[in-house]
Each structure stands twice: as C-alpha cells, then as structure tokens.
Amino acid sequence: GLKALVAIEVSFEAIEGGGMEEVEAVSNIRAATAEFLHDGSRWHTDGRVFFNLAPRGLVRYLHADLESVEDSKETVTAGGRAGRPRLG
C-alpha cells in the first residue's frame, strides 16, 4: 500500500521521577518524519516516527525498499509517498 511521509516536529517533557528531569536537552524540539499508511480508503498511522530525517532524506535512505509510481498530479512512491496525506 501507499505510505505518506510527513515532516513533523516532536518535543518531550520529563516525567517527575523518571530520571530525565535534570537533562537540559529533554525539551528540545526535534525534527522527524511521521509515517502514515493508506488502507485503500483512509489514511492512518501506527505511530512510527523517523528522527533526524526529513521526508526526502528518508526516501533516499529507504530507496531500496520503495518503488516509484506515476500519478497525474505528482510522483508518488509505492510503499512510501512523499507528501501530505488527507486524513478523515
């Protein structure tokens, strides 16, 4: 099926007593790419996130596992789609 790779920013908060309270970098915003899956009628996510890679970089990284397909509006990748999914 199709996958959509969407650029996101992720931030965390330390949990009291969790051992990360003293780590200054815990609240830093991190760039990542979220993976969305298309089941034939809807987009959904299993929560998979790739840190430190933008969608284009992730496509280059996973290129051996992807197959390009042509679409009338854009080039999409079977198994991975660079672009923004429509949710709902």
The pLDDT tens digits for 25-77 are 898 999 999 999 999 999 999 999 999 999 999 999 988 887 766 664 554 45
At 10, the amino acid letter reads V
> Which residue in this structure is represented by tokens 């079977």?
78
Which pTM does this prediction carry? 0.66
The pLDDT value recorded for residue 85 is 45
The 10 Å Cβ neighbour count of residue 7 is 16
| Domain edges within the chain | 3-82
For 63, phi and psi rounded to 5 degrees? -55, -35
Alpha carbon distance 4, 86 (integer Å)? 10
